[in-house]
Structure formats: C-alpha cells, structure tokens
C-alpha cells in the first residue's frame, strides 16, 4: 500500500478539541513534525478534517 507523509505546519492552540484529538490520532505532537501513514480513506478523512493545520509532503 502507498505511504503518505504528513507534516504539521500550524499550531493546534485555540483549535477545537476534536481537531486536537485528530492531530493526536495522526501522531502529530509538535510543529513541523512529519509522520508517515498508509494512504487509506480513513487517513485521508482525518487529513481533510485538519487540512488547515497540516500539509502532505511529497
């Protein structure tokens, strides 16, 4: 399965709790941290929920 790299580019301060929990579920704890996940519809949905806080690294 294809891998996808996700980088947190904005702070989670003042975000709703649901978005903070989504970042935590993705494994993102710090700014500019990069994590790698399988490219599944579930992960894509989580990225879409916090798309203003993260970016996909090529």
Query: Could you tell me if 8 and 32 are in contact, meaning their C-beta atoms sit under 8 angstroms apart?
Result: yes
Please report, for the domain that includes residue 44, its CATH number.
Answer: 3.30.1390.20
Determine the structural domain holding residue 40 and report its residue range. Answer: 3-57
Q: What is the pLDDT of residues 8-50, one digit of tens each?
A: 999 999 999 999 999 999 999 999 999 999 999 999 999 999 9
Q: Work out how many domains the chain is built from and give that number.
A: 1
pTM: 0.92
* The predicted structure's pLDDT at residue 11: 96
**Among all chains, which residue has been given the structure tokens 């700014």?**
31
Strand order in the sheet with 3-8: 34-38, 3-8, 54-57
* The predicted structure's pLDDT at residue 21: 98
């Amino acid at each position: 399965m294809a891998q996808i790299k996700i980088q947190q580019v904005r702070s989670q301060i003042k975000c709703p709790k649901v978005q903070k929990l989504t970042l935590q579920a993705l494994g993102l704890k710090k700014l500019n941290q990069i994590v790698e996940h399988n490219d599944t519809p579930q992960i894509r949905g989580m990225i879409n929920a916090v798309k203003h806080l993260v970016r996909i690294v090529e």
